[in-house]
Amino acid sequence: MKSLQLKNENNSSNNMLELNRGQSLTGTNNKTNCIDNLEMIEAAFIIKEKEGLLENIFNFLPVPLIITRNKNAEIILISAGVETILHINKSEIIGKKINEIIVDNQEYNQLLLQLNLHGKVQNSEIAIRNFHGKSILCLLSIEIIMANEECLHIHSFNNISEIKHLEDAIQNSEDNLRTVFENTEVGYILFNQFQNIVSYNKPASIFAIKEFNKEIHIGTNFSTYFPEIMREYLSNIIAPVLNGETTSFERYILHNGEHHWYYVKFSPVFNKDQLVAGFIMSMENITDRKKNEIELNNSLSLVTEQNKRLLNFSYIVSHNLRSHASNMSSILSFLEKEKSETEKAGLLIHLKKVSNLLNETLYNLNEVVSIQRNLQTTLEKLNLSNYIDQAIEILNKEIIAKNVTVHNNIPNDILINYNPAYLESILLNFLSNSIKYSSPKRVPIINFNMLTKKIQ
Amino acid sequence: MKETEKICIIDDDEIYIFLMKKSLSAMGINNEVISFINGSDALEALIQLKSNHEELPGIILLDINMPIMDGWEFLTEFRKVNIDTYKKIPIYIVSSSIANEDFEKSKTFPEILDYLSKPVDLETIVSILNF
Closest by CA to A347, choosing from A360, A329, A337, A334, is A334
Per CATH, domain B7-129 is 2.30.110.20: no
Per CATH, domain A376-456 is 3.40.47.10: no
pTM > 0.80 = no
Higher pLDDT, A373 or A115: A115
- Give the mean pLDDT of A25-38: 56
Give residue A32's pLDDT.
Answer: 60
Q: pLDDT digits over B65-120, tens only?
A: 888 889 999 999 998 888 777 678 999 999 988 888 899 999 999 889 999 988 88
Give residue A16's pLDDT.
Answer: 40
Record: contact A334-B15, CB cut-off 8 A: no
Q: pLDDT digits over A119-172, tens only?
A: 899 999 999 998 888 899 999 999 998 887 889 999 999 999 888 889 889 999
Record: contact A354-B15, CB cut-off 8 A: yes
Q: Is A330 on the interface with B (CB under 8 A)?
A: yes
Domain ranges of chain B: 7-129
> Which CATH number applies to A2-159: 3.40.50.720, 3.40.50.1370, 3.90.1150.10, 3.30.450.20?
3.30.450.20
* A437 contacts on B by Cβ (under 8 Å): 67-68
CB B91 within 8 A of CB B75: yes
Q: How confident is the model at residue A278 (pLDDT cuts 50, 70, 90)?
A: very high
CB pairs under 8 A between A and B: 53
In this complex, which of B19, B67, B98 lies closest to A315 when CB atoms are compared?
B98
Q: Is A320 on the interface with B (CB under 8 A)?
A: yes
**pLDDT, chain A, mean:** 84
pLDDT over threshold 80, residue A12: no
Give residue A283's pLDDT.
Answer: 92
CATH number of A184-285: 3.30.450.20
Q: Do domains A295-374 and A376-456 have the same CATH topology?
A: no
Q: pLDDT digits over A381-428, tens only?
A: 999 999 999 999 888 888 998 899 999 999 999 999 887 878 888 898
Record: contact B118-A326, CB cut-off 8 A: yes
Domain ranges of chain A: 2-159, 184-285, 295-374, 376-456
Higher pLDDT, A24 or A416: A416
* B13 contacts on A by Cβ (under 8 Å): 323, 327
Q: Is B96 on the interface with A (CB under 8 A)?
A: yes
Higher pLDDT, A6 or A316: A316
Q: How confident is the model at residue A296 (pLDDT cuts 50, 70, 90)?
A: very high
Give residue B58's pLDDT.
Answer: 92
Q: pLDDT digits over A197-209, tens only?
A: 999 999 999 888 8
In this complex, which of B16, B40, B97 lies closest to A327 when CB atoms are compared?
B16
pLDDT over threshold 50, residue A9: no
Record: contact B118-A322, CB cut-off 8 A: yes
Give residue A355's pLDDT.
Answer: 92
- Give the mean pLDDT of A218-222: 93
The class of domain A295-374 in CATH terms is mainly alpha
